Amino acid sequence: MIQWTPPTVQDGFTYSYSIILDDKTIFHSLTDTASSWVFTTLNEGQTYTFKVIANSDNGASTEETITFTTIVHPNLSDFDIMVDSFTNTTANITWTPSTYPNHTSSINYDIYLNGKQQNPKLSAIYGTNYNFTDLTPNTEYIVKIIANKTVGHPVKTLSREIRFTTEKSYQTHPTLTVTEAVLYTPSSQYFSNQLKIKFSDSISAIDFDKVSIGGIIINNFMTYSTAIMSNTFSSENYNKILFNNAGYVIITENGITYKVKFDIVEKTN
């Protein structure tokens, strides 16, 4: 906001103001009752020259000029996006929260998938996860999340993107199933913080292409005649598996790839 004091003019004459910013007339014939002007679309950290000219009806004029530099406000804090889990037709995206210094109102988020906004324009998301459904198998998607500070001055936004490819569509194995998937508690005497997946038949002739539990991909595990056993999970991953207790394995047998799903249960031994 720029403020000024009114000029002294001869009795009986009226006057008006011209508002000029960087040699560009912003407003002409502003009423003589005005004593300030508010600029709302200036750039942060930029120097401007403001001029106000008082023009009297008798042809006289007077002007004042001031130069100022707008302040630079802090930006929203950076945030990370993660593909928490995905299948051939779904994906769950999570992200760390973005914050703004000394700002008590929540930051909200807009979600885009391949350039199309997913949440209604007037229904911002305040959480830090979003689930996509009805996706196409074996297809790459780009997720963009925009963090918004819309309450108070200034308005701030920050966007981040992540790519993922949905799984292929797999056949269901004609006979093999998971009979039990047990996550042993930290207090268990044996196999604490480990997961045992037991199958209905021998897996000696099967190749494991992927093991996913609770959104976590397991690359290292021990294989037995009818079961596989994970290594010990960290507390963070253990809790993540409990929160999202669905899993699956992608296996290949005799040149055919299958997907076998299962649910995870927690037990103590």
**Could you tell me the two tokens for 264?**
């995870």
What region does 179 belong to: left with phi over 0, alpha with psi -120 to 50, or beta? alpha
The pLDDT value given to residue 57: 87
The pLDDT value given to residue 244: 84
Residues paired with residue 259 on neighbouring β-strands, in sequence order: 250
Alpha-carbon distances of 148 from 98, 160, 165, rounded to whole Å:
9, 12, 27
Of 137, 128, 134, 131, the residue nearest 160 (C-alpha): 128
The pLDDT value given to residue 85: 79
State how beta strands 15-21 and 47-56 pair: antiparallel
CA distance 209 to 224: 16
Asked if the model's pLDDT at residue 152 lies above 90, the reply is no
Looking at 138-249, list the stretches that DSSP marks H as alpha helix, in order from N- to C-terminal side: 235-243
**How many Cβ atoms sit within 10 Å of the Cβ of residue 88?**
16
The structural domains of the chain, ordered by start, are: 2-69 (2.60.40.10), 81-165 (2.60.40.10), 178-267 (2.60.40)
Asked if the model's pLDDT at residue 120 lies above 90, the reply is no
Mean pLDDT of 163-186: 95
Mean pLDDT of 139-164: 93
Please answer whether residues 131 and 92 qualify as being in contact, where contact means their C-beta atoms are separated by less than 8 angstroms. yes
**Angle at the Cα of 48 from the Cα atoms of 46 and 53, rounded to 5 degrees:** 165
Mean pLDDT, the chain, integer = 92
The pLDDT value given to residue 27: 94
The pLDDT value given to residue 86: 83
The pLDDT value given to residue 198: 98
- Cα 71 vs. chain centroid, distance in angstroms? 27
Global pTM reads 0.62
Name the residue type at position 197.
I
The pLDDT value given to residue 248: 93
Q: Tell me: the pLDDT tens digits for 85-118?
A: 788 899 999 999 999 988 777 899 999 999 999 9
CA distance 192 to 198: 17
The pLDDT value given to residue 102: 82
pLDDT band at 131 (very low <50, low <70, confident <90, very high): very high
Asked if the model's pLDDT at residue 11 lies above 80, the reply is no
pLDDT band at 78 (very low <50, low <70, confident <90, very high): very high
**Could you tell me the two tokens for 64?**
């004042």
The pLDDT value given to residue 59: 87
**Could you tell me the two tokens for 149?**
């500070």
- Cα 81 vs. chain centroid, distance in angstroms? 6
- Cα 70 vs. chain centroid, distance in angstroms? 29
**Could you tell me the two tokens for 201?**
């038949």
